[in-house]
Amino acid sequence: MARSTTAQLRNKEQHITLSEQETDSPILPIAQIERLKEVHPERVDWVFEETSKEGNFRRSEVKRVNTMVFVERILGMIAGLVIGTGALYACYSLAMAGHDAVAGIVGGTTVVGLVSAFVIGVKRRSSTK
């Protein structure tokens, strides 16, 4: 996504233009590379090498972040499954021991809590995109 800004100032006989370009691309615009080649030709190869390094770094960083997000989501699902299974087993044990009311409360709040946590989590992820 590129963004550019241009400002001009004119007087009767004088004219000055200031231009700024901001981009998320790691490579310089062609006009600047051509200007660099005129001024310092041996630095053009250096710029391309550094750009290649920057591109490799960005790709590895994006891959690492995506992997960590994936692992976080999988661990969250596994934790929810473990908590739910443990709570439902506790409900079963309580019900078999004759504590039906407590088993119903624990089981109901566990299911409602987990469902609402996952639904709210999905809504939060959807609204941030």
- pLDDT tens-digit series, residues 78-110: 888 888 888 889 889 999 999 989 888 888 888
Q: Is the pTM of this model over 0.85?
A: no
Give me the residue label for tokens 């770094």.
Answer: 57
**Rounded to 5 degrees, what are φ and ψ at 2?**
-105, 150
Q: What is the pLDDT of residue 61?
A: 95
The proportion of the chain whose per-residue pLDDT surpasses 70, expressed as a percent, equals 88
Q: Is the pLDDT of residue 65 over 90?
A: yes
- The letter for the amino acid at 76 is G
For residue 59, the enclosing domain spans 3-128
The H-assigned helical ranges of the chain are 30-39, 43-96, 100-128
- The domain tally of the chain equals 1
∠ CA 121-80-118, rounded to 5° = 20
Classify residue 129 by burial, with Cβ atoms within 10 Å: 0-12, 13-18, 19+: exposed
